[in-house]
Structure 1
Amino acid sequence: MNVSLKSKKRVVLPSRPSPPSVDHILEDVSGAEPGDPVFRILQRPQQAGEAEQTFRQCRRLADVKRQLQEVEAVLLRQREHLRATGRGLDRDVAEVKSGLC
């Protein structure tokens, strides 16, 4: 058997853009919509404890996201296990049917 290996061409990726300037960042922050969750804290004075509450809420959301990703991984493994079991059952059913005929 003749197996030939093809060499892969190296893909040249575009260069990374330069980071934004301080002026550009300040322009983005000042032009943000009032409801923009990323900049909402910067656009109004903080009340006592509000920053801590916002931090806890962000932390809680990050924890929930991580838990969801873990559950997704478990469900994907279980789904594949169920599919494999289903294929095995299909083979067994076909074997039983062929033995009855």
Structure 2
Amino acid sequence: MTSKAKKRVVLPTRPEPPNTEQILEDVQRAQPNDPVFVLLVEPSEDLPAPVRARPEAKRERLYRLTQSYVEMNHRLQKACSLLKEKCEELKLAGASLEQGILEMKQRDAWQTLAIQIGDTRRGGSEVPLICRIA
């Protein structure tokens, strides 16, 4: 038998983390719609205060956030009412289907009874008059 040795994967060395100046420069160059800044986070005492943006930019960003929230809320309300409507349609269809199944079972029972009665009148063997209802 031959033994299979696992090949060791050599990973590249990890790059040096950015220094404080590089991080600050990157944050200052970021756009207001950058995904990092889209979510509102309450400042924590443990975290340093973020770099302050212009008040107009902050106001615009908050307005757009609020606008998207209101739009999403309207879409959710429409979806909810549509879902309720479809649910009612399904309930009605289910009730109609149940009624149709019941009618078919009754029709089948009457046909079974009619066949059994017809066989006894023709002089066939005695068949008990039992109505089969499933």
Q: What range is the shorter-chain TM-score in?
A: 0.5 to 0.7
The Cα shift of 1:87 comes to 0.1
What is the aligned counterpart of 1:57 among 59, 62, 65? 65
| Bigger RCO of structures 1 and 2 (CA < 8 A, at least 6 apart) | 2
2:78 counterpart SS class: helix
User: 2:89 & 2:52 partners in 1: Cα distance?
Assistant: 51
Q: CA deviation at 1:46?
A: 5.6
2:62 equivalent to 1:76: no
Shift of 1:45: 9.0
Q: What aligned pairs does 1:1-101 form with structure 2 within 5 A after superposition?
A: 35=42, 47-48=53-54, 49-101=57-109
User: Taking structure 2 as the reference length, what is the TM-score of the superposition?
Assistant: 0.41
Unaligned runs of 5+ in 1: 1-33, 37-43
Match of 1:7 in 2: none
User: Aligned pair in 2 of structure 1 residues 46, 58: CA closer, same or farther (>3 Å)?
Assistant: farther
C-alpha deviation, 1:100, in angstroms: 0.8
Choose 1 or 2 for highest CA Rg.
2
In the TM superposition, what is the alpha-carbon distance from 1:35 to its structure 2 partner?
2.7
CA RMSD between the two structures: 2.0
